[in-house]
Amino acid sequence: MASSIPCSSTTRPRKIKSVVLMKELTTLRDQGKKLKVEFDSDGEPIEKIGAKYTSYVGLLGRSKVLITICTWKHVGEELKLKIWDEVLSVFDIPKTKYQQVIKIANTTWTNFKSKLTAVYVYQKPPKGRKLPVETDPVKKYPYIKSEVWKEFKESRLSEEFKAISKVAAERQSKNKYPHRMSRGGYRKAKQKLEEKLKAKLKIKEQEKEKGTGIDDSAEESSQTPTIIKRGDLWIEGRVGNDGACINSETEKIVEELEVLKEKVKKGEFVPSGKVDELTKALGTAEHYGRVRGVGGRVGHKQYFGRCKRTRDESTTVISPEFLEKLTKQITEQVRSEVYKDFEKMMGEKQTNGNVSYSVHNEKDAAEVEMNCTMGMLVIIFRSI
């Protein structure tokens, strides 16, 4: 296979990662061995074997599915099962991971087609990148046949595709908070944040042992290094290596998230289900099919659990202080209304010969209080 970089007498040809990976996994399969993949709490593959698993599934998606197929919806079930079987032949994973495998293959295949279009059809590499030395994708990717590439290129140069591309570009331009992450995505971002937290806690522990640090063990004990909130991941994916935000819009959201974190500590804001700090800061409900800040392969049920959808998932969660104030106001209002009704009833009794219209005994008082309480509960439930 031709190398993607020029070679000289002092430079050895660079081995293509996909070729090396395929050779390694083929050897394991021939030996009847499998690599066991570990997954984190979000169901995402972790560690080096997890990275190989993701890369292999992506390679199968690129090499097994023709690039001339319009969308992933047009990929046959038989081909999807073939990809699944090949993954199971070299990796030890639960059978419940079928949808994850298909989703990885789908995403990788779609991104591969986008790359071929931008770099090899329109000669426009991503920002900050250069065009490859090898300009013929058929030579670089042996699983792309000449006739397939010709058909794909013609379809990408058609007026129909240009119209579709224009609509997609306009939609993308409306994204106010573009992310900037490495190939590892949010999974890699989460690992980086965990390492930072562990290092920070280790330094504080060392300072405490030396007697130079402030004793804030009570505060630290509530922070678990391996638990990262999606708001933190969202920020990590949108800042550069220098810690600066990508744009001013993103900076506003980061500042709002910091404010909300403090409110959570004080009990002024209580995250509930899909309405957490990130949802509140962005001001919009979660998208269908994916969860912001954790990666495209994590679904709603997987991350939030089975929870009922509300009419407006971006609605502010009622804080304990506000609920207490609301309860007092409603109690006074309901009590006033109930007593008015009671006095009216007693007035009618007086007209019929009764001489009293006030609350004279405990039974009457208990009845009024019960009516007051029931009315208050009805109003509270309607308000929430």
295-317 pLDDT tens trace: 777 777 777 775 544 444 444 44
* Residue 3: per-residue pLDDT: 38
Residue 7 has pLDDT above 50, yes or no: no
**In this predicted structure, what is the pLDDT of residue 81?**
97
Per-residue pLDDT, averaged over 181-200, amounts to 80
pLDDT digits (tens, 9 = 90+) for 201-210: 888 888 877 7
Smallest CA-to-CA distance from 77 within 52, 51, 102, 47 is with 102
Top-confidence residue, 91 or 267: 91
In the three-class reduction of DSSP (H, G, I as helix; E, B as strand; rest coil), residue 246 is classed as: coil
Query: How many whole angstroms from its chain centre is CA 138?
Result: 36
Output the pLDDT for position 83. 97
3-class SS letters over 204-238: HHHHHHHCCCCCCHHHHHCCCCCCCCHHHHHHHCC
**What DSSP character marks residue 4?**
S
Task: Note the pLDDT of residue 358.
Answer: 47
| pLDDT number for residue 16 | 55
177 has a pLDDT exceeding 80: yes
In this predicted model, what pLDDT tens digit does every residue of 265-291 receive, in sequence order? 888 888 888 888 999 999 888 877 778
| Three-class DSSP category at 13 | coil
Average pLDDT over residues 29-36: 90
For 104-130, the three-class secondary structure string (H helix, E strand, C coil) is HHHHHHHHHHHHHHHHHHCCCCCCCCC
Q: Are 257 and 231 in contact (CB under 8 A)?
A: yes
Q: What are the residues whose beta carbons fall under 8 Å from the beta carbon of 224, sequence distance 6 or more?
A: none
Structure token digits, residue 81: 């099962």
List the end-to-end C-alpha distance of the chain, in Å, as a whole number: 65
370 or 84, higher pLDDT: 84
Alpha-carbon gap, residue 198 to 216, rounded angstroms? 16
Question: How confident is the model over 43-81, as pLDDT tens digits?
Answer: 889 889 998 999 999 999 999 999 999 999 999 999 999
Q: What is the pLDDT of residues 234-258, one digit of tens each?
A: 988 888 878 888 888 999 999 999 9
- Confidence (pLDDT) at 319: 56
Of 270, 238, 273, nearest to 254 by C-alpha is 238
Say how many residues make up the chain: 384
**Window from 7-21, 43-57, 183-197 with minimum mean pLDDT:** 7-21
- List the one residue out of 230, 159, 185, 247 whose CA is nearest residue 58: 185
Percent of the chain with pLDDT over 70: 74
Q: Which two tokens stand for residue 106?
A: 């789908």
210 is written with which tokens? Answer: 């030396």
The pLDDT, as a whole number, for residue 356 is: 45
HSE at residue 364, side-chain half, CA atoms within 13 A, is: 12
Identify which has the larger pLDDT, 204 or 232. Answer: 232
Average pLDDT over residues 152-176: 91
Q: How far apart are CA 103 and CA 111, in angstroms?
A: 12
Contacts of 141 (CB under 8 A, 6+ apart): 62
- Residue with more model confidence, 129 or 220: 129
Which pLDDT value is given to residue 322? 64
CA angle, 336 then 339 then 345, to 5°:
145
E strand segments, the chain: 35-36, 91-92
